[in-house]
Amino acid sequence: MIKYKTEEWRGEPCAKILKIECERETDKCIWIGNNRRLKITENERFFDTWKEAHEYILEMANNQVNRAILRLERAKDLLKNIEGMKEEL
C-alpha cells in the first residue's frame, strides 16, 4: 500500500512529499519493511493521499507566513517606540 510522508523540522514544514510503500497499517502505525512507525510524530506524518499531504504542508506554510507577518508588525512597533524615545532630563 502507498502512503505519502511529510517532514517537519522544529515545527516548520519541508517542501517535499515522499511516496512510501508500506506493508500494513493500524489506526496509529504503519510498517515499512519490518519497522513500525507512528503515523504522526513531531517530525513526520503519513497520509493516505498526496492531496492530503499537500494540503497539510500548505496549511503549515500559510501559518508560518502569518506568524512571520505578526512578528514583523511587532518589530516595527518596537522600532517606532525606540525611535520616539527622548532622553529624560
C-alpha cell at 40: 504522526
- DSSP H helices in the chain: 50-83
Is there a contact between 14 and 6 (Cβ–Cβ < 8 Å)? yes
**Any idea what DSSP says for residue 40?**
B
Q: What is the pLDDT of residue 9?
A: 85
Query: Each residue of 2-56: pLDDT tens digit?
Result: 999 999 988 788 889 999 999 999 999 999 999 999 999 999 999 999 999 999 9
Max Cα distance, the chain (Å): 75
Is there a contact between 47 and 28 (Cβ–Cβ < 8 Å)? no
Query: Each residue of 47-81: pLDDT tens digit?
Result: 999 999 999 999 999 999 999 999 999 999 999 99
Q: What is the pLDDT of residue 50?
A: 98
